[in-house]
Structure 1
Amino acid sequence: MSSESTSLATRAIKRSFHGVKSAYQSLSTRINATLAMAKIELKTGRGVSIPMSRRLWLWRRGFTSRFDGLFDVTEENYDQYLSDYQEFRSYDINEPWKDEMDNKLTAHLLMLPFEEHLPTLFGVLEGGEVRRHPAYEGESETPALDDAETIEHFERYDARTYVDTLLEEEEAVVLKPLLGSGGLGVYVVRADDTSNGYSINGSTYTEERFDSLLDDLEMYMVTEFSEQSAFLDELFPGSANTIRVVTMWDYEADEPFIAWAHLRVGTEESAPLDNLSQGGIQAGIDIDTGEMRYAAKIGDKSPPIGVDWYDEHPTTGARLAGRTVPNWEAVADGITEMAEAYPQFPYVGWDVLLTDDGFEILELNSSPGMINTQIESKVLDEPRVRRFYEHHDVL
């Protein structure tokens, strides 16, 4: 066989291999999406009282039963909604960078070109010890630990001693898992002068109890506690109230765009977090003007399934719907600039905290969660959003 024939045969084999691999990955994605739907149905289906015929109608179109408790889905408009099945299929859009985005440490390091918009990373916590970040530098954010001999011989520090030193300078520090979402496992730690112990997520901890907690934490990062703006404090001071900004890539224009944004406001139920799954409120933001168009609590993860609408915050009485997010244009421009710098991340949910000096990025999300955004508008009505999902074979 000639070298040319061998080369042609090799290319044909490679094409066949890539075709089989692509088909397998597509089948795997479809199976995983169906299994994820089944899990959601088992968890939330009992929270919606509808006939079996309606459940089957929804399922054939990619929706779980919870959609009937959240949206007015009909034969005429169902294809304007992003369905459960389609959302689950979107989870692989950021491959092969998905794992880097979802790991909070690697995401922080990748974002260092925009360090002015990041909370300070103090170190990584594992099994009662903190490795200071960056371990190789001669100066740290904690002057009390900058003894030259200590730095020369040790890279790790006792976790509680390290946190105590930080709390001499900081109002609070944050311990958050490198992996995970929904605010689970996040601890906001403050010194409690009254008890000579600690206040952690509002609960009092003794030194012994805190030591036990620190010993159990693996793959955690220790970061600065970022002070939110006076505007956010007015809405609800008991949590860090963040804006979820979703960016997508416009492949025709070869540039990112903001597809959606909403402000999450904590409640007594969710504090000290603002997460919707913990009982926080979602306020949809007009991406052109920054106005909050509505505010609602959305029950979509467990019964009861449904939407409760608010004009004002239930605890503080602060007006929500109709107010405008301060400096929204600067925030939107800043997020778009960041998204443009990372084209390998075509689909990002940016968690943004407004501060009195600007804004900070608290974390990135490779699966932004678009189902909730549809309580007031259908995401597939926006042509660029539809084209984006079509490009990634989600629809």
Structure 2
Amino acid sequence: MVLENERKLSLITENSNDGFLVIENSVITYISSSYCNLLGFKQDEVYNMKLEDIFNTIHKDDVTGVKKKVYLNLEKKSKCFLYEFRIKSKKGKYIWREDSISVIYDKKGKYIKYIIVSRDISALKRAEEKIKKLYSLSKRLNEKLLDFTHIISHNIRSNTSNMSMIIDLIEDCKDENEKNQYFKLLKVSNNKLSETIFHLNETIKVRLENESDKVKINVKSAIESTLASVNGIIKKEKVKINLDIANDLEINTIPSYFDSIILNLTTNAIKYKSPKRNPIININAQKTNNKLIITFSDNGLGIDLVKYKNKIFGMYKTFHNNTDATGLGLFMTKNHVEVLGGSIGIESELGIGTTFKIQL
């Protein structure tokens, strides 16, 4: 009867896709041919292996965890446990395995048999890795979608608000010469809206296809173009803008992100202007150590940095009581600066104004 049972067990182990191995008193006493096939070794090669030889074939990133789990479970007198790891085949290729362990102990609590059922899970791990990559891609695309939703909402709203304001000025204007000037501003603003939409479409292509693909732009022309999108607001609020930028200064960048940075800082400066004086915005840009440094200063309300220092660039954070404040402008600005590989800092004093320093 015992021989019959052993014969049946041998048939199962020798014809299974899973590998079987038995260790008694730290010595390998049984190996199925399927276990050897998993790693490409011959049976006599495995029989001659010591326990440390087996550990030495485990991937360096997994071996500590495997040892810890084995010895901890033996110490706890666990009868069954399993673990996953990578092990090197005879050809030098790492294979993912899942080992299911059964342990038999004597009356003193010392293990007398350590039975391993080993399964190749390389295909499963490849599938899991593919799922992780797809999830990661999906997550990044969702983040980008949210980002572009904010850009579209904020940037296009600035363009359309500007055009609405110019139309109101035209309707209230009786002087034909002045009305013609407003029509010119409206035309510029309309062209800027088309340009903004174009750049957003191009940016989506860049971000989804090749994030490193940037476009060379003229810094002064790009900033002037962005300011043109809010020319009506600038005129109505009597904003004086001083540009100190060399005509030949260029940078490789994503145009819609660069546009968004300048637009956010400009509209913020106007929105939080001081009621005691007309707004003045000073924009300086220059290359230093192969970096573009943009200094953006205003004479507005300023921000209490002692109180709000750690919240300046937070989402939905506002620092004044403007009813139209969304708390997205500076959050988006910092996000876009960092996407472009740069950094942004702030200096501000209540009642005096604010200065942003951007490095790209």
Question: Normalized against structure 1, the TM-score is what?
Answer: 0.23
Greater helix share, structure number: 2
